[in-house]
Structure 1
């Protein structure tokens, strides 16, 4: 069994940072605090997925950074939260790309805008990033237009240049959707990682996805990484829905004892659940099976906090995030995704 975690001690020990995946550490020497993973960089302070966001995250003490990957038309992996980029870049203000606006159905959701798979990398490289949540984070909008879109290659370069070891947690987005459009996300990521390792990249690599199928594919390719299956509180995985329709197993059923056993048997190293699905009981059952548990996403603004931790009426104001972050840590979770890695460090202290 792993450590016993009390409501206070779970978040009290941070004398030394261990910027690596917990699965690489013997159980008896695992740290008493969770891994701090900067969600798309320090995205609470800078537009997400920008060089400034990643470099600031490292400076603020993050153990790991998390880039989301989507492809361009010519097969370059770029880091964007979604392949629809109307809200995170200045593409809507670029008249030369006005005719690219279209409507797509991505994992059952109808979206209108501009999609990375309709652009070459050379075209995307001309765009500039914008704050995705301007009403919640107006201070970050002063950086709109300053930073270009990055490739995964660029983020790996930032990791390699960091003054200390930092883990990279790559999220593969919409693998089934992209497969139907002619993009093999496992092959594209494998190719990028091989190039990175050939350049001397040594940072620990974790790959995560809301679709276990692409993780299975990458594992069979013998990619040197750890694999984490992302879970929403409810619903079902897009790859399973595409294959099984209404018969697809739910996220809840995949967190049952049988589901966790199957996850372990498939060679996965852990699961990552949204905070609404996190509990000490789930962490305990997963740990009993040798699985790590991560959770997403810790944010201090009232809009993202449970009602009991909100302060005042403004959605953008910070609530009692300290108590919320501490409560999440007290479940014994192995890692937390956060937009403000320094605030997690403060809660841990």
Structure 2
């Protein structure tokens, strides 16, 4: 939904929201709270996205939260990569010239592990690899960071929600301290987010998108966050989201993406968002004082 339409819907429906569920307490813009800054695919303006180097760069910048994307290989390994094709961010065309269109799901974990996922970004990162989910969470843990994990293209990978939770459990990420303070699982698929909530109700979840205000009560049953593109955002929409309480009894939050300049960061912070997902976490942090 575009920002103007969102604002119009909010004006008409905010009263209805208040009748359905109690309004939240004063939020970021009113209380002086600063939004959380999340390094999108790691600090991806400064290191190749979704690599361990991008996690390290975020840590070097002092950024607590890192976002990543999870997909599944042909032989069932979970790997951290954004596109459903390996073409943009690896040398897969050179390594496997006869395997177009180079979909993640058509390659084994061993084949993907051979690929160079850094040279496209710059020679300093030549030889960087596509990490497995296990490798990625190990690096996040090493830096004592927090993880906003996106299940990417779940329609391509039946059962990926259960598998992702299993890996997180095996790596110690589903204990109480991680679940309560250091982990959010999100997706563009409402069904996927609902599945994560049903499988592991304690895990905090986020829906990527801008649902109509009238639909927010149904989302509040299974997600803790509504996470829209900043281009679709308005102060009225943020207020409408905050009016609902999620499955853990707290007001729904808004983490917006992908904000990479200071002016946009200040604008969405003024809307009262709870988090800002960005390729340039240092720029956004300085702009909002986070």
What TM-score, normalized to structure 1? 0.69
1:260 aligned partner: 216
8 Å CA contact 1:61–1:345 kept in 2: the answer is no
Structure 2 distance, partners of 1:278, 1:272, is 10
Q: Aligned residue for 1:2? A: 25
Aligned length: 257
Change (3 A) 1:324 1:222: closer
How far does residue 224 in structure 1 lie from its aligned partner after superposition? 3.8
- The partner residue of 1:218 within 175, 191, 196 is 196
Aligned partners of 1:259 and 1:149: how far apart in 2?
Answer: 37
Q: CA deviation at 1:123?
A: 1.1
Q: Are positions 1:118 and 2:86 aligned together?
A: no
| Alignment correspondent of 2:94 | 93
Paired residues for 1:176-255 under 5 Å: 176-179=155-158, 184-197=159-172, 202-203=177-178, 204-222=182-200, 224-231=202-209, 254-255=211-212
- Secondary structure at the aligned position of 2:258 is classed as strand
Matched, 1:127 2:150: no
How much does 1:348 deviate?
Answer: 2.1
CA distance in 2, matches of 1:178, 1:89: 21
Q: 1:5 to 1:121 in 2, by over 3 A?
A: closer
Partners of 1:85 and 1:344 in 2: CA distance: 29
Structure 1 stretches of 4+ with a deviation exceeding 6 A read 198-201
Q: Which runs of 5+ in 1 are unaligned?
A: 14-31, 102-112, 133-139, 232-250, 300-320
Paired position in structure 2 for 1:242: none
Superposition RMSD in Å? 2.2
CA distance in 2, matches of 1:100, 1:119: 9
TM-score normalised over the length of structure 2: 0.82
Shift of the alpha carbon at 1:161? 0.8
Matches within 5 A, 1:16-31: none
